[in-house]
Amino acid sequence: MTTTLLMSSLIVSFLLILYYTTIVVASSESRCRRYKSIISFGDSIADTGNYVHLSNVNHLPQAAFLPYGESFFHPPSGRYSDGRLVIDFIAEFLGLPYVPPYFGSQNVSFNQGINFAVYGATALDRAFLVKQGITSDFTNISLSVQLNTFKQILPNLCASSTRDCREMLGDSLILMGEIGGNDYNYPFFEGKSINEINELVPLIIKAISSAIVDLIDLGGKTFLVPGNFPIGCSTAYLTLFQTATVEHDPFTGCIPWLNKFGEHHNEQLKIELKQLQKLYPHVNIIYADYYNSLYGLFQEPAKYGFKNRPLAACCGVGGQYNFTIGKECGENGVSYCQNPSEYVNWDGYHLTEATYQ
């Protein structure tokens, strides 16, 4: 199969993952067999357990306990959902193992895939954000830290194989995120102005682009780069901006100006990716349109098997959206729905397994 045909098939495959609610794993074997592993970077949208392993055993995060993972993993796996994430469905589709977290793993290898994504991670370094007056208590495992960790372990990974290091990386699908969302979440929830937050957009795009270039230099050939979600449909944001003066879309109930901000980030990211594709024509850079894929669920929830009130959280308590900031999923007194598959939002910040599927 030629590279062009292979990539066409891969793009079709990912469109199926993003737009349909069922996945036929066997169909991937003939179309996408060349990918031998998944290398992942990002935040909680792709974290398969890193944050739990990095946490103090006496103060484990919510994702270490039920109801997280209750729909699939039993017990919880450290994923911020009731079950599988997008990265898990991609692995299934490609006929590959679920990608284990790097932190806390005993035997890291290309065969299993490697995941550096960490809950709360940012595209920009913590020190830089603090200088900008963003002081939320968030992890220091930024995108550059994740990338540098990968570079440090790469010689040992390759030394244990007879295959060339660049070849091994070239045979991997590299998932770049989602990353950058938290760079916006923290200042929004700290009350920063939209003008201040807008100034971060080109810096975040540059951080993602620079990481891709570094990985290309190491031998990476295929990159799946997700855009941001429609944050104006996020339960947490809807609760944060729940005032009489905030305009809501009468059709979806989402907040238009927040969604426009997300669209702006995505447009800038796509422009940058097109430039990278021109600079590196031998590399395949695929933009994953998480925004429109998710927004369609809010436009026609019943079509995809969700309730007609898709903005409320499954796991939460209080208010119009079954969510209270500071009293969140996993805490005492916070309940969760009986059928998470009917809900789009899981805990106010993250999505259900059914949505990710």
Which residues participate in catalysis according to the annotation? 44, 347, 350
β-pair partners for 285 = 223
Q: What angle do CA 267, 291, 50 make, to 5 degrees?
A: 105
CA distance 40 to 186: 23
CA distance 259 to 282: 34
Residue 46 per-residue DSSP state: T
CA distance 43 to 36: 23
Smallest CA-to-CA distance from 182 within 119, 232, 132 is with 119
Helix axes 256-279, 290-299, angle to 10 degrees: 150
Residue 150 per-residue DSSP state: H
CA distance 216 to 218: 5
Identify the burial level of 177 via C-beta atoms within 10 angstroms of its C-beta, where 0-12 means exposed, 13-18 middle and 19 or more buried.
buried
Smallest CA-to-CA distance from 213 within 152, 144, 268 is with 144
CA distance 342 to 305: 6
CA distance 247 to 255: 6
Residue 39 phi/psi, 5-degree rounding, is -110, 125
Residue 136 phi/psi, 5-degree rounding, is -55, 150
CA distance 313 to 257: 21
- Which single residue is written with the structure tokens 């939209």? 194
